[in-house]
Each structure stands twice: as structure tokens, then as C-alpha cells.
Structure 1
């Protein structure tokens, strides 16, 4: 059994590794180790996610797909969630999420083996129901936040106050400092600033372009 941790943030400005320490502590307390991490900055409403796809391809029967919360795995519509769930089942992966206690049993094969078949079936059914419910709630929450955001923007626009998303220039300067002055690699700079590697490259290109204009 390999435990594969999936870390997702919705945008490039968010830190996908935020929950890494929490996942490590959770797994260590149960006597296991995380075999590999899969990180990406992409919306949970997208079915096609490169790192999640790589996790599925790397996995073997009875491996664990570990997430902090179900919304890190999915904010998909019900149709797309059923598609992803089928893919997970085809790879015979078991989902363990910190916010779904019934899923934790997958980390203890010994405890599961002590249960009679009926008990195991009941626990599995409850676990699947809870995961499906939280997947639906995650998508509903995303829809609600999108609606509130749209309403807020429309109101700000009507009042002439909307300027769009502003760049974090102070954080950008940290990227340039680590890259140019400290001579850190792109990966080291990403770890130091919380940006992704692709975002580090975009920030560099932005300031290089501005210096030529």
C-alpha cells in the first residue's frame, strides 16, 4: 500500500503545499509514511488535471489517495464527479480525506480484517455516501461563491470602484531577489515564496519585458 497525497490550490496565487504538514502529521500518527506528493494549481471544477492524472497512472491496487478535504479533490459537477470517481475505482484506489473520518479505516487493514463482511459493507456504504455528499456540497459552495463574486464585481463596477485583481509587487520583488541576488533555482524560489514553478517563470518574464519597454 502506497499513500499518495494530492495537494491542490485553485489559483497560481495560492499555496498548494499549505496542507502538507497537516497531512504528514495525520499519517505519521497512524504509523505510515506518504510515498509521494502530487501538487498543482488548478480549479477543482476541471476534470482534466495533469497531476491528478499522473497520480492515477502511478497508483496500484489498494493505494491511498490522500487529501486534506474532499473539496481539494473535487468541486466538479455531479456528472464529472461520477466520471472521476469511476476512474478512481478502476485504479482500485481508496480515498482518505481528513474531513471524512469513515475513510480513515482504509489506513488500517488489520482493523478492517477483524470486521465481518456485513460490517465492512455497511462502513463502505456509509463512507461512499458521505464522500458523494461532500462532493456535491463542494460544487454547491463553488457555485455560491462564484455568484457572490459576480454580484460584488457588478456592484463595484456600478460605483466605479472595480480595478480588477492587483499584482502583489512586494512578493514579486522577493522572487526577483531570490533568483537574481541569492541565485536560487526556480524550484528553490518556488518553495521560498509559495509560488509554483510556472508562476516564477511568468514573473521573471514579466519584469524582463518591462525592463526592455
Structure 2
């Protein structure tokens, strides 16, 4: 048998388990570090664009909001609107709150 756990060698099995857990922890730490670096760089880019007056932010999808308002006025449920338009409940809430209905 080639696998240590099957051969009954408890010491090799424990070492293998510890090494596997270490590798998983290391990969998770590297992924987290990469995520934080990307978020920091994105924030720096946005801050720089704002300072230059070039930052516009994400524009709302006016056509989607118009369709949500239409379906709300027809009395459709939020779940039906989500299914039909593929939008989030927060988008529906924003349209309803804005008084477009």
C-alpha cells in the first residue's frame, strides 16, 4: 500500500495531516492577502480619480428601473419582478422608495 494512512503508520499519517492543514492555511492566508491588496489598490484608484474630478461612479440602469416601476404599478410581487428582470430586491426597494411607482 502506498498511502501512509492505509499502511497503519500512524506517525507518517499525522505528519501528512499536519502538512496538509498547513498548506490549506497558507493558501487561505495568501488568498486573503491578495484580496486585501486588490481592495486597497481599488480604493487608491478611486481616491485619485476623485481628486482629479474624473470619478463618476456607477450609473444606475434607468431602463431597468423603469421596468421595475412598471411592474410594481401593475401589482407584480417583488419575487416575480426579480425573476422576470433578474434584478435584486434592493433595486426594487430603491425604485419603490424613490416614488417612481
Structure-2-length-normalised TM-score = 0.62
Q: Which has the higher strand share?
A: 1
Q: Residues 205, 121 of structure 1: CA spacing in aligned structure 2 closer, same or farther, 3 A cutoff?
A: same
Task: Say which of 60, 75, 90 aligns to 1:167.
Answer: 60
2: CA distance, partners of 1:140 / 1:134: 10
Matched, 1:205 2:93: yes
Q: Residues 152, 124 of structure 1: CA spacing in aligned structure 2 closer, same or farther, 3 A cutoff?
A: same
Q: Which has the higher helix share?
A: 2
1: CA distance, partners of 2:18 / 2:33: 23
Q: How many angstroms does 1:173 deviate by? A: 5.7
Q: Residues 168, 130 of structure 1: CA spacing in aligned structure 2 closer, same or farther, 3 A cutoff?
A: farther
2: CA distance, partners of 1:114 / 1:134: 27
Q: Which residue of 1 aligns with 2:11?
A: 118
2: CA distance, partners of 1:173 / 1:115: 67
Could you give the per-residue CA deviations for residues 72-121 of structure 1, whole angstroms, max 9, x where no partner exists?
A: xxxxxxxxxxxxxxxxxxxxxxxxxxxxxxxxxxxxxxx89625323431
Contact 2:4/2:12 (CA < 8 Å) preserved in 1? no
| Structure 1: gaps (5+ residues) | 1-110
Q: How many angstroms does 1:158 deviate by? A: 2.3
Q: Residues 170, 134 of structure 1: CA spacing in aligned structure 2 closer, same or farther, 3 A cutoff?
A: farther
2: CA distance, partners of 1:169 / 1:203: 11
Larger Rg: 2
Contact 2:46/2:55 (CA < 8 Å) preserved in 1? yes
CA RMSD of aligned residues (A): 3.5
Matched, 1:157 2:50: yes
1: CA distance, partners of 2:20 / 2:61: 41
Higher relative contact order (CA 8 A, sep 6+): 1
Q: How many angstroms does 1:159 deviate by? A: 1.9
| Structure 2: gaps (5+ residues) | none
Alignment of 1:7-86 (within 5 A): none
2: CA distance, partners of 1:139 / 1:151: 18
Structure-1-length-normalised TM-score = 0.34
